[in-house]
Amino acid sequence: MLTTIQIAGLQTFGYHGLFAEERSLGQKFTFDIDATLKAAPTHRDDQLDASIRYDAVVDAAVSLAGATKYQTLEALGEAVATGLLRRFALIDTITVGVSKFSPPIPHALGKVGITVCLDRADLADEPVKETLEAFV
């Protein structure tokens, strides 16, 4: 059985963007995360060992998003996706969407954003660390 954990509309404040003003003044960012877990035979036993804590994923994503300033949403999204794959051994595939609502674009628009998708195989040469304890 495949299970996907979905986190939608996670709002953070960050200092990312191409322009110096964005990196000094900051702005709101929204993350949408879909984490597909390694296959589990069942969830009927109602135990966490076949899943991961949602609050731990949220805390990790916020921490990763604030760790470094990025010029592009693409780099920010990839950093969060890679970091989550590294921290949670049960995540097999991850999709991270990042949006910002106040881009320095002289046109009326609701938001701009990107989506990145990574598989565990994309990190084949990197060790996986399960750090649930750090978020409890």
Per-residue confidence (pLDDT) for residue 116, from 0 to 100: 98
Ranges in the chain, pLDDT < 70: 125-136
Per-residue confidence (pLDDT) for residue 132, from 0 to 100: 42
What CATH number does residue 104 fall under?
3.30.1130.10
- CA 88 to CA 94: how far, in whole Å? 11
Per-residue confidence (pLDDT) for residue 70, from 0 to 100: 96
Domains contained in the chain, number: 1
Q: Which domain holds residue 24?
A: 4-135
Q: Using alpha carbons only, give the angle 51, 53, 59 rounded to the nearest 5 degrees.
A: 140
Per-residue confidence (pLDDT) for residue 126, from 0 to 100: 60
Q: Which of 33, 15, 32 is nearest to 70 (CA)?
A: 15
- CA 59 to CA 125: how far, in whole Å? 25
